[in-house]
A and B are shown apart, each in its own frame.
Chain A
């Protein structure tokens, strides 16, 4: 976990994973029917 904060690339990956995960949840819960 420390690598994900102390390294810039690791922090990038951590935030991207959180963001894409949240986006996938939002899509599944609220938006699936619109596509």
Chain B
């Protein structure tokens, strides 16, 4: 146990580093900050709620920079797309925070927040899971028929619809290879920003699906570009939280020690897989976070009487990070095996790239 003087608690040091490492891998892979996993985990470790948010946001800023640099080297960042979204997101977050303050004044914020989290994550999980399973099936069929299978395939009709909206100015996002109205990008940023500001999260788990299914970016570009966004918004959030005294920098430093390595691995791992693999991991993270939030909601609504619910909520929160990390490492392992011509399960070839 380590004595965190600023937070005024003792917490297990290796768990902090391990959390930074596992969420770094997940965040670098699916393009999220991981706040919806880390903040509850830090509360479980003993940090007060306001400090858990501050530590999480500050470590996300550092991890976001590491991931952005790596994704830039992999060619996964579209600067036009990223900078246009940042503007919209900043506006949206401000409105989302005001909405949260209003629900707090009505005395409803805890239950409303958790219910909104559960509903949003469930809807995103269902859509992402169904679309990805259809894309996976199509890629498997193409591979069996001897057709060339590219790195990305989506079956969603959303991008075709939104890219046809003729509102001036129309921007050409060269890296993402899309041509779309700037207003589509800005409005997506505003709406996802409102949701993020209201839920008190970075919003990556909302923005990445929005970039894929509305704007039409490929999964890899959506992940890299969103991490750029997270580095910027995380930096601003870290500054604000520090000014309010919500940050224990020693805790942040230990988390970043783990996150530095995790984020590198997670970012590089995207080069070993196709788009549907990343979307699968994103959908799993949503459903597990949804289950954890649902258990906490039931625990709160039953007046915190049933300790077993709290136990399961904690185990799900910690187990989710480990599960996602293990799945990502497995995908890289299977990709290496597949490249070397060794046996892999039948569901693997359509999800991984044979790296020469």
Contact = CB atoms under 8 A, between A and B. Distances in A.
Interface string A6-22: 11100110011011101
A30 B316 contact: no
Contact of B323 (A6, A8, A16): A16
B330 interface: yes
Contacts of A7: 345, 347
A31 B314 contact: yes
Contacts of A31: 12, 15, 44-46, 314
Interface residues of B, number: 24
Nearest to B317: A23
Contacts of A11: 330, 345, 347
Given A27-B315, A30-B15, A22 B346 contact: no
Which residue among B15, B322, B330 has the maximum number of chain A CB atoms within 10 Å of its CB? B322
A35 B60 CA distance: 25
Contacts of B261: none
Which residue among B15, B44, B315, B330 has the maximum number of chain A CB atoms within 10 Å of its CB? B315
Given A20-B323, A35-B314, 5 more contacts: A11-B330, A23-B319, A27-B314, A34-B11, A34-B45
Interface of B: 11-12, 15, 44-46, 284, 310-311, 314-320, 322-323, 326-327, 330, 345-347
